[in-house]
Amino acid sequence: MLISDRLKNIKPSGVRRIFDLARQMKDPINLSIGEPDYDIPEPLKEEGIEWIRKGFNKYTPTQGIPELREKIASHLKKKGVHFEEVMVTAGVTGGLLLASLALINPGDEVVIPDPFFVMYEYQVLLMGGVPVFVDTYPDFRLREEAFTKKLSNKTKFIIINSPNNPTGAIYPEEDLRMVVRVARERDLLILSDDIYDNFVFDQPSCACIGQLYDKTLTFGGFSKGWAMTGWRLGYVAGPKDILQQMITLQQYTFSSVSSFAQKAAVKALDFNVEDHIKRYKIKRDLIYEGLKEKFHVQKPQGAFYLFPEVPGGDGEAFVEKAIQNHVFIVPGSVFSKRNSHVRISFAASEETLLRGIEVLNRIS
Q: Are 100 and 239 in contact (CB under 8 A)?
A: no
- Tell me what pLDDT residue 113 has: 98
- Tell me what pLDDT residue 327 has: 95
Question: Across the beta sheet with 85-89, what order do the strands follow?
Answer: 85-89, 234-238, 216-221, 189-193, 155-161, 109-114, 130-135
Gap between the Cα atoms of 236 and 91, Å rounded: 10
Superfamily of domain 5-40+273-363, CATH level 4: Aspartate Aminotransferase, domain 1 (3.90.1150.10)
Identify the bridge partners of residue 132 per DSSP, sorted by sequence position.
Answer: 111
CATH of domain 58-268: 3.40.640.10
- Tell me what pLDDT residue 62 has: 97
Gap between the Cα atoms of 105 and 94, Å rounded: 18
How many residues in the chain? 364
Which stretches in the chain have pLDDT values below 70? 1, 12-24
- Tell me what pLDDT residue 10 has: 74
User: Domain map of the chain by residue range?
Assistant: 5-40+273-363, 58-268
Residues 191-241: tens digit of each pLDDT: 999 999 999 999 999 999 999 999 999 999 999 999 999 999 999 999 999
Residues 134-192: tens digit of each pLDDT: 999 999 999 999 999 999 999 999 999 999 999 999 999 999 999 999 999 999 999 99
- Tell me what pLDDT residue 21 has: 65
Q: How many CB atoms lie within 10 A of CB 244?
A: 15
- Tell me what pLDDT residue 22 has: 61
Gap between the Cα atoms of 222 and 247, Å rounded: 19
Gap between the Cα atoms of 222 and 84, Å rounded: 21
Helix (H) or strand (E) holding 314: none
Q: 178-216 in b/e burial notation, b at 16+ Cβ within 10 A?
A: bbbebbeeeebbbbbbbbbbbbbbeeeebbbbbbbbebb
Got the DSSP string for 226-293? T--GGG--EEEEE-HHHHHHHHHHHHHTT-S--HHHHHHHHHHTTS--HHHHHHHHHHHHHHHHHHTT
- Tell me what pLDDT residue 28 has: 87
Q: Are 165 and 190 in contact (CB under 8 A)?
A: no
CA–CA distances in Å: residue 36 to residues 169, 211, 218 = 18, 27, 22
Model-level pTM? 0.94
Shortest CA distance to 280 belongs to which of 347, 345, 222? 347
Gap between the Cα atoms of 225 and 277, Å rounded: 8
Chain-centroid distance of CA 296 in Å reads 24
Q: Are 344 and 305 in contact (CB under 8 A)?
A: yes
